Amino acid sequence: MKDIYYSVVSSWRNDHGTPALIGARFLDTLDQLKPLGPAMNNWVLLDTVNSAGVPLVAIEDITAFVEHNIDRDESGETYPNSGYFVRAYGGEVTPTRTGKDIVKVSVDAGSPSSNTLRFEIGNIGDPPDLPAISYPVFRGALEVLARNWPCPWAYARAFVIDLPPLVEATFPLVARERALPPPFEGAWIAYLSAPLAKGLRPPADLVRQTTPGGGLILSAALERLDPDDPDHARRSELLRAILQDRVGGWPSDPSQPARDGAY
């Protein structure tokens, strides 16, 4: 079965953010996402230790919540390079952790080795309704994430999972890992910080806008990226090549250090 999923992703290393700073950044992120859609006005935070959802309005101490959500071994000790996990999901009526209308924000931060962020709509097995995927939403989400987190780059992507229904239904996580595209394939919108954008002369086919910190936002399409549209696919490949050249590696590989300064 062919499904199209859309997300914003990034990774970085050398992040020394404290639980207080990470908590404040996460609250700012959720607040700034609100104008992008009704589902983003109704957040639930995920307690990753207890696998329980906690409504945002019920969080009394965000610093303590972040401190609680750290990777630990079986004895309760933290790993040497542990970061903190902050997760939130939203829905227009009653947020649940599954469904095609779920909005998810995930950030792993505060680690000297591996930090990641992700924004997505829908769930593996429940791809989003395509009319709900728009350029303003994903461009806005990319800017909110880049503004609030020290990511050196970020990109919005469209990726296709085309698997037999039984395989996808029976092994959703395995199916997702095996179906993930090559590095930066499906590039739709990209942010490059000033050091990564230095000297770049993007093709005229890509829409270029500068950021307050001297970075660049490049767009392959000013509408929902359609991987089956030949012109979209051509411009997406131009953007993919830039990301591969400037960032290198895989999107999940924290090869670039945390950004220092404004986005």
Q: According to the model, what pLDDT value does residue 163 have?
A: 60
Q: Long-range contacts of range 223-231, CB-CB < 8 Å, 24 or more positions apart?
A: 223/134, 223/135, 224/6, 224/130, 224/133, 224/134, 224/135, 225/6, 225/158, 225/186, 225/188, 226/158, 227/4, 227/158, 227/160, 227/186
- Would you put residue 106 in left (φ > 0), alpha (ψ -120 to 50) or beta? beta
Residue 48's pLDDT band (cuts 50, 70, 90): confident
Cβ-proximal residues to 230 (8 Å cutoff; 6+ apart), any chain: none
Would the pLDDT of 181 be above 80? no
Would the pLDDT of 47 be above 80? yes
Q: Which of 3-12, 102-111, 180-189 has the lowest mean pLDDT?
A: 180-189
Residues 252-261 pLDDT 10s: 889 999 999 9
Residues 86-114 pLDDT 10s: 999 998 766 666 678 889 999 999 999 99
Q: 155-191: buried (b, 16+ CB within 10 Å) or exposed (e) per residue? A: bbbbbebebeeeebeeebeebbeebebebbbbbbbbb
Give the CA distances from residue 163 to residues 5, 148, 172, 185, 228, in Å, rounded to whole numbers and listed in that order.
14, 36, 10, 18, 17
Give the C-alpha separation, 202 to 213, whole Å: 18
Q: For the chain, which residues make up each domain, given as ranges?
A: 2-183
Residues 110-155 pLDDT 10s: 999 999 999 999 887 788 888 889 999 999 999 999 999 999 999 9
Q: According to the model, what pLDDT value does residue 77 have?
A: 67
Instruction: With CA atoms as reference, report the closest residue to 24 among 84, 72, 71.
Output: 84
CB 193 within 8 Å of CB 153? yes
